[in-house]
Amino acid sequence: MFNQSQTTQGNMPLSMNHGAHEVLDVHEVLSASIGALNAFIFYRPHVKDQELLNILDRQYAFMLDEYNITAECFKTGQDPSHPTRSYKMQMGNDSKYGLTPGQPKKPMTSANEIDDSIISGALLSCHKTLATGKTTAALEATNPVVRRVLQDSIQNCIEMAYEISLYQNQRGDYQIPQLAPQDMQAMLNMYGQADKAKDMPN
């Protein structure tokens, strides 16, 4: 029995305003968020490059806050203590295109092999996993507050992943192949503007 003063929707307390799929998917998101935060803590002492360390620290603080407000609104069904913020990366968005041959990538055979390239790749994987999980959970959410918090959080996962991929790209760890110019042009010109169907209203 819930307190009569608790905000309700219909006959249900807001803290219980969740569908089963939503509960299971948000559980996965929060568990993955804990895993990502733990990974950031684990990797931090091994980072050698100051720029990567700055990115890691800024992203960790932002992710921790997002985890807390997501857990808060999930538990209460109500607005968290503050709205979702927008992550702002602190680097330009110029990418280097093209492939440079190098040594094949493969798993480590010893913990002594850990370096900034491996760390940045692991951090990027955390963001990609969270972006996918939050998208799935947002599409299943019936609680409007939880859905909005997840929805607003997805773009932050994408922005943080983009920041790390740019960092990697500048160092040759994240190479971006391109199509041949004629294939690129053909793909760009493959789609045209659509006209409104005659039977559809304005």
* Segment 112-168, tens digit of pLDDT: 999 999 999 999 999 999 999 999 999 999 999 999 999 999 999 999 999 999 999
C-alpha distances (whole Å) from 103 to each of 69, 95, 100, 106, 152 are 43, 21, 10, 9, 39
Residue 174 is assigned to a structural domain of this protein: yes
CA dihedral (71, 72, 76, 81) in degrees, to 10, reads -160
Residue 6 is assigned to a structural domain of this protein: no
Domain span at residue 165 reads 12-90+113-188
3-state secondary structure of 85: coil
Residue 170 is assigned to a structural domain of this protein: yes
Residue 198 is assigned to a structural domain of this protein: no
Residue type (1 letter), 41: I
Residue 54 is assigned to a structural domain of this protein: yes
Residue 191 pLDDT: 93
In angstroms, rounded to a whole number, what is the distance separating the alpha carbons of residues 94 and 75? 41
Q: How big, in percent rounded to 5, are the helix, strand and coil portions of the chain? A: 60, 5, 35
Residue 98 is assigned to a structural domain of this protein: no
| pTM for the model | 0.86
Overall domain count for the chain:
1
CATH of the domain at 78: 1.20.1260.10
Residue 34 is assigned to a structural domain of this protein: yes
Please give the residue that has the higher pLDDT: either 11 or 197.
Answer: 197
Residue 1 is assigned to a structural domain of this protein: no
